[in-house]
C-alpha cells in the first residue's frame, strides 16, 4: 500500500518505535463488524464482541451483506468497530434515563445516528442531520430501517442550527475529515490526502463547531470525532474551541485491554484508535461540556401555541390507530396524504424543529390516505411499534425474500384483496398486496437490491441467522 510520504514522516514522529507495527497493521485487511438492533433481534450471535459496546460483533470475513434479508429488515448495521466507542462517551457522560434532545450533526449514512437511537430512552428525541441532500436521503433510509419512532432526519447546514439556541442536551459532531484512519479500506482517501487538505479540513471543522455551539445547552455535552490521526483536526481543534468558548474537557474511563490511547493537549483530552492496538480503523473522539447550568427539561409549556405539525383528521386516525401497538403514546399527524405518528412526549420539541429546519423524515410514517383507500407505508412495516395482529403475515424463504427485495414478482398461495406483511425469519421486510391470485410487490423502488442473484443461494453466503 502506497502511503503519502509526508503522512509517513509525521506518523513516524507521532508513534516513534511503534511505527513499524502500525505500518504492518495497515497492510492487514480491515476487520468486519456489525451492530445489532436489539429492538428487532433478541438473541446474541455466536461471534466475538466489540469490547466497548453491548451490541457490536466481529465477523470472521466480509460476507455479501446485500444478500442478507436481515440487513434490509434493519436487524443490524454494518459499522466499523472503533466508531462504536461513541457508546462509552454517551454512557459515561450523559444520564440516559431522562428525556434528552440529541443532535447528530454530520449523520449520513447513519452509523452513529442508529447507534444513538438505540441508546436513548423512548421519551428522548434524536435529530439526525446531514447537509448533503442525496446523503440525507440515505440517512433517512437507514433510520427508517432501524425503526426508532423518535428520530427526525433533517437536511440543514450547521449554521441553520443557530436558530435553535440552547436546544440540545447532547450533540455529536462526527466531522468530515482527511480520513487517514480509513487509508487501508479506502484508496480514494489515500489519493486525496495532502497536508493542504488536512489544513482545510481543520478549518472547516472549526467553522462547523462554531456554527452549532449556540444550539448546545449550557451544561450540555458535545462529542467530537474524526477518523483521522493528525493533531490539527483533533486535539488542536478541541484546544482551539476551549480558547473561544467556555468549554471543559471530560475524561472517559478506559479498560486497558481495549488498547485505546488517551491523549491530551492544553488540558483537552482525546481518545485515539490505532489499528496496531485495537481491532478497528483509525478514530479519534473527545467529549466536551459547555459550561453553565442546564435548565430542567419540561415537556410542553402548557400555553396554546401555533404548531407547524398538523394533527391527522379524527376519521383517518381512527382507521389506522390500531396499526400501531400503544397508539395512545403517539400524536397522529397528517402531511398531505401521509399519516404519521410521533411520540407525544417529543411533539412540542419536534414542532420547534419543524419550525426552524428542513425535516426530511420524522417519527413513523404509517399510512397513505387516498379518499377512502388506506395504504400501509414501508416505515410502518419496519417499525417495532407495528401491530402485526391486524395484518395477514407471510414468512418467506431466502430466495423469495431476495426476489421480493429485488422488487420482482413473487407468488404466494391465497386469494382476496389484502395487504400482506412479508417476513424473513420473523422480521418484517415490507408490504405486498394480494389482488385476486396476484401479489403486487410494494417494496420501495429506490431501495431495491440491484445485484443479480447468484445461481445457487446458500444461507452461508451470508445471513446473520447462521450465527444466531
Ligand X SMILES: C[S@@+](CC[C@H](N)C(=O)[O-])C[C@H]1O[C@@H](n2cnc3c(N)ncnc32)[C@H](O)[C@@H]1O
| Binding-site residues for S-adenosyl-L-methionine | 130, 157, 174
**Positive/negative CA dihedral, 113, 119, 122, 123:** negative
Q: Nearest Cα to 1, choosing from 275, 239, 252, 412?
A: 275
Region of 20-28, 125-133, 398-406, 445-453 interacting with ligand X (CB under 6 A)? 125-133
Strand blocks (E) in 148-265: 151-154, 168-174, 216-226, 247-250, 261-265
Between residues 88 and 317, which has the closer beta carbon with respect to ligand X?
88
- Sign, Cα dihedral of 74, 149, 325, 315: negative
Q: Where do we find the cell 443461494?
A: 457
Determine the interface stretch with ligand X among 106-114, 275-283, 437-445, 452-460 (rule: CB under 6 A). 106-114
Binders of ligand X among 297-316, rule CB under 6 A?
A: none
Catalytic residue ranges: 227
Task: Please identify which residue in 56, 63, 99, 110 interacts with ligand X, judged by CB under 6 A.
Answer: 110
Q: Is 132 in the site for ligand X (CB under 6 A)?
A: yes
Cα–Cα dist 421/418, whole Å: 10
How far apart (Å, rounded) are the C-alpha atoms in residues 41 and 306?
40
Contact 219, 274 (CB under 8 A): no
Q: What is the enclosing helix (H) or strand (E) of 286?
A: strand 283-290
Least Å distance, CB 263 to ligand X, is 20
H/E run at residue 391? none
Per CB under 6 A, 87 contacts ligand X = no
Residue 204: CB minimum distance to ligand X, A = 6
140 lines the binding site for ligand X (CB under 6 A): no
Does the footprint of ligand X cover residue 384 (CB under 6 A)? no
CA distance to 67, 71, 382, per residue, from 44 (Å): 21, 16, 21
Q: Using the minimum distance from each CB to ligand X, give the nearer residue, 135 or 388.
A: 135
- Per CB under 6 A, the segment of 38-46, 126-134, 249-257, 321-329 that binds ligand X is 126-134
Which of the stretches 23-31, 55-63, 127-135, 382-390 binds ligand X when contact is defined by CB under 6 A? 127-135
CB of 159 to ligand X, least distance (A): 9
Residues making contact with ligand X (CB under 6 A): 83, 106-112, 130-132, 135, 158, 174, 176, 204, 208
Amino acid at each position: 500500500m502506497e502511503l503519502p510520504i509526508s503522512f509517513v514522516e509525521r506518523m513516524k514522529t507521532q508513534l516513534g518505535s511503534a511505527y513499524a507495527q502500525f505500518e504492518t497493521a495497515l497492510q492487514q485487511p480491515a476487520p468486519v463488524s456489525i451492530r445489532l438492533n436489539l429492538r428487532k433481534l433478541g438473541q446474541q450471535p455466536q461471534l466475538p464482541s466489540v469490547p466497548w459496546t453491548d451490541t457490536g460483533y466481529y465477523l470472521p470475513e466480509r460476507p455479501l451483506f446485500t444478500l442478507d434479508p436481515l440487513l434490509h429488515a434493519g436487524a443490524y448495521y454494518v459499522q466499523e468497530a472503533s466508531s462504536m466507542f461513541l457508546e462509552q462517551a454517551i454512557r459515561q457522560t450523559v444520564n440516559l434515563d431522562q428525556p434528552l434532545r440529541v443532535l447528530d450533526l454530520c449523520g449520513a449514512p447513519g452509523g452513529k445516528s442508529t447507534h444513538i437511537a438505540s441508546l436513548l430512552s423512548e421519551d428522548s428525541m434524536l435529530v439526525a442531520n446531514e447537509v448533503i441532500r442525496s446523503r440525507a436521503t440515505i440517512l433517512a433510509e437507514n433510520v427508517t430501517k432501524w425503526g426508532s419512532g423518535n428520530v427526525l432526519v433533517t437536511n440543514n447546514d450547521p449554521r441553520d442550527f443557530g436558530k435553535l439556541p440552547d436546544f440540545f442536551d447532547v450533540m455529536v459532531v462526527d466531522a468530515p475529515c482527511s480520513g487517514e484512519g480509513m487509508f487501508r479500506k479506502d484508496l480514494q482517501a489515500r489519493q486525496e490526502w495532502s497536508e493542504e487538505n488536512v489544513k482545510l479540513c481543520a478549518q472547516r471543522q472549526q467553522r462547523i463547531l462554531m456554527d452549532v455551539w449556540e444550539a448546545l445547552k449550557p451544561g450540555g455535552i458535545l462529542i467530537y470525532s474524526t477518523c483521522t490521526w493528525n493533531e490539527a483536526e483533533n486535539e488542536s481543534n478541541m484546544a482551539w474551541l476551549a480558547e473561544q468558548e467556555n468549554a471543559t474537557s471530560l475524561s472517559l474511563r478506559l479498560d486497558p485491554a481495549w488498547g485505546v490511547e488517551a491523549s491530551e493537549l492544553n488540558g483537552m483530552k482525546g481518545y485515539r484508535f490505532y489499528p496496531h492496538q485495537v481491532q478497528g480503523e483509525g478514530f479519534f473522539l473527545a467529549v466536551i461540556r459547555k459550561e453553565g447550568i442546564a435548565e430542567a427539561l419540561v415537556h410542553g409549556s402548557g400555553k396554546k401555541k401555533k404548531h407547524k405539525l398538523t394533527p391527522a383528521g379524527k376519521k383517518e386516525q381512527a382507521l389506522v390507530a390500531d396499526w400501531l401497538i400503544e397508539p395512545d403514546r403517539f400524536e397522529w399527524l397528517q402531511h398531505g396524504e401521509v399519516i404519521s405518528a410521533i411520540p407525544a412526549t417529543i411533539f412540542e420539541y419536534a414542532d420547534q424543529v419543524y419550525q426552524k429546519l428542513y425535516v426530511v423524515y420524522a417519527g413513523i410514517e404509517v399510512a397513505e390516505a387516498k379518499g377512502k383507500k388506506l395504504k400501509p407505508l414501508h416505515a410502518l412495516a419496519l417499525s417495532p411499534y407495528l401491530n402485526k395482529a391486524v395484518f395477514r403475515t407471510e414468512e418467506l424463504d431466502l430466495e423469495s425474500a431476495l426476489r421480493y427485495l429485488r422488487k420482482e414478482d413473487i407468488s404466494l398461495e391465497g386469494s382476496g384483496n389484502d395487504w400482506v406483511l412479508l417476513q424473513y425469519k420473523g422480521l418484517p421486510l415490507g408490504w405486498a398486496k394480494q389482488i385476486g391470485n396476484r401479489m403486487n410487490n410494494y417494496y420501495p423502488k429506490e431501495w431495491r437490491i440491484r445485484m443479480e442473484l447468484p445461481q445457487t443461494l446458500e444461507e452461508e453466503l451470508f445471513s446473520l441467522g447462521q450465527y444466531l
